[in-house]
Structure formats: C-alpha cells, structure tokens
Structure 1
Amino acid sequence: MKIIGKTTSINVRKVLWTCAELGLSYEREDWNATHAALNPNAMVPVLVDGDLVLWESNTICRYLATRYASALLPADAQGRARVEQWMDWQATELNAAWRYAFMALVRKSPLHQDPALIAAGIVAWNRHIGILDAQLGKTGAYAAGEHFTLADVVLGLSVNRWMMTPMARPDYRHVAAYYERLSERQGFREFGRNGIA
C-alpha cells in the first residue's frame, strides 16, 4: 500500500493517522509529476492499494476503516451515519469556514490579505468550532459519541489547526478537553499535535 503526499498536508495526515490507528504498514512518497495520472485534480493524498487508486482524504479513511473492519467506522447504519455526518461536516462546512483566515494568518498568502475577509473568516471559524464544542458537551467524549472514531481523526486535525493559528478564539472548554483526550493517542501526537498547523 502506498500513500502519496507530503506529511505537512493536513489531508495526508488524516490518512497517516488512520493508518496509525489501524496499525497498517505503508510506503509514503511525495507528489511528483509521475503521479499526475493518478488524480485528475493533481492533489494529495492519493492511496494506491494494489490496483485500486483512491483520492479524497475522507474517502480514503473510510475505505481503510471498512477494509480492515475497524470500529473507527461502525458497521451499523445509524452509528456509521453519525460518524460520516461529522466527517462530511468537517470537509464542507468547517473547512470552508477557516480557509481564508488560515491562508492569511498562517500561510501568509498575498492573495488573502483583505482585513474584512480575514475578520469574517475568524468569526466563521470560531462559530463552527462552537458547534463542535456543543456536540462534545452533549457526548462528553468524542464527536459521534462515547467512542473514538474516524470523525475524530478528521476533526482532531482541524481542531489542531484552529488551536495553532494566531488569532483570538473563544474559550471552548469541551474542545480544550477533547484536544487533550486526542493527545493521549500516539497517532495524534505524531500526525496532529506535532507542531504543524
């Protein structure tokens, strides 16, 4: 099994953390021009598993958890739907909320320097993390319930990015406790709370 993409990519780190949780061995290599035929979007990560080629990080994580029959993705329809709901929310709603502010404040992109858009991005990002905080207050543990799942892999990396970005943020106590719970996991320490936003 091969994972293509640099380890500084948040989406590649989702897959690497999932592999760590599953105890999977893999080869990893950085993207280069020879990989262009594997993903029409020319983005990472890409998973090559025998003759299967997959792209889209959340899909790769779902595939790995399903292939290796892991509790990270429950087998029952309701449990799986709860996990996938939070994974999809991360990929669509949460990512859209932080994108502009992150590009401005961390990546220092010259194309993302409008003060009004940065401020709006921070407000939206904090509001979305507040949604997660409320959910964690209900479950008392993890995003989809009392057990760690794939939802926490993708959300944990997003929380790490939120915590590391230099900006004002509310004191969300459930998110703070969640961050510490995730930090007890070796995979999160290696691929999440490792100094990379």
Structure 2
Amino acid sequence: MADTLQRILDGKVVAIVRGISSKDMIQTVEALNDGGITCVEVTFSLKSEEKCLDTLKSIRMIKEHFGDSVAVGAGTVLTPENVSRAKEAGAEYIISPNVDEAVIKATKSLGMISIPGAVTPSEVIAAYNWGADIVKLFPAASLGLPYVKALMGPIDGIPLTAVGGVDASNYRDFLDIGCVGVGVGGNLVNKKLIEAGDFEAIKKLALEYGLK
C-alpha cells in the first residue's frame, strides 16, 4: 500500500479514463504510459450494470497487461460493494467524487489507497480523519487557485490533489501552490481521438505534461 501511494505521489498526474470501452483500453493506457503518465483511474458508470462490468474488465486487463508499470485505480466509487469489486479486479486505489465514511473505511480495510473528493474544509478534514490518504479537491478549476491556496493554509498537513478542469496549461499551477498531484480527464483521455484510433495523438497529449 505504501508503495502504491508513493507511485501516485511520484506520478503527479492521474489520467481519468471515463466512457472508454474495454476494447480500446490497452492501447489507450499504452499511449498514456508511452507519454510518461503511469497512473490511470478507470471510472464506474452509474448508467448500467453492463457498464460497471466493463469497468471491472478494463481494470483487470490493465493490471494483467501492465503489471507494476502502471498504477491502476477505480473512480466514481460510491459504495463499499464497488470498492470490493474493484479490489477483486486488481484496483490499487479508490477515487470518489464525494466523502463517504463507509467507502473510505471499506477501502482501507482492503489495503487500498483512498482518495475521496471534497470541496469544503470540513469535508477535507472529515475525509482525512476517516482514513483518506489523499483528498481530491473537486472541481478544482471552478474553485480556483486562490480558494485552493487559502484552503491549504490551516490544513497544510493533508495531501490534496486537484481534479476538474485541469489540463496541461494549468496543472503546474496547482502543483506549485502545494497540491501533491492532479487528475486529468477528457483534456487528456480524449474520447473522440480514441474512438478514431489515433493513439499517437493521445501519447502527444500525455507528453505535454513533461513527465518523460
């Protein structure tokens, strides 16, 4: 678990893979990895059980194909049940858009890294007290750098990551004010490019973050 946390901290950028079919998953992650991004979050969909199963399939595929070269986690995890399912599929960390005590504690009980999403100081502190390893500030760009910086003042001992509206043009701004990392979705894992089979373009987007 400590090793997974360090890999997330060293990786700086977590690529958020949302709405991408399992059939395109290996090529997508390969392109991200070739571009220097080694942390990938595959999100659950709330639309159907079929889509949830495809998320679990994708996590399993990434773990089996890439092993320890990619740190894979599950995103949009809202229930302890999906924590367990993600763990069984090979997820190493759990990311949520909200703070849920049961989800955090289920994550920690299974030896995984917990990264819940919060907005207010009360939410951040509650998440950390319940066992979160990192707290995700979401939506970070909408909250703005001044808000994030002000929030860090009294709670500078809690590791924070910035997610929501983050891209290659502003991610260093969040790192510079003290965030331990960022999460980047459609600005990096571009669905149209993936559906068109342009994985070289995905690699180029990943390289813009200067991690390789």
Q: TM-score, normalised by structure 1?
A: 0.30
Question: More strand per residue: 1 or 2?
Answer: 2
Q: TM-score, normalised by structure 2?
A: 0.29
**In terms of Rg, which structure is larger?**
1
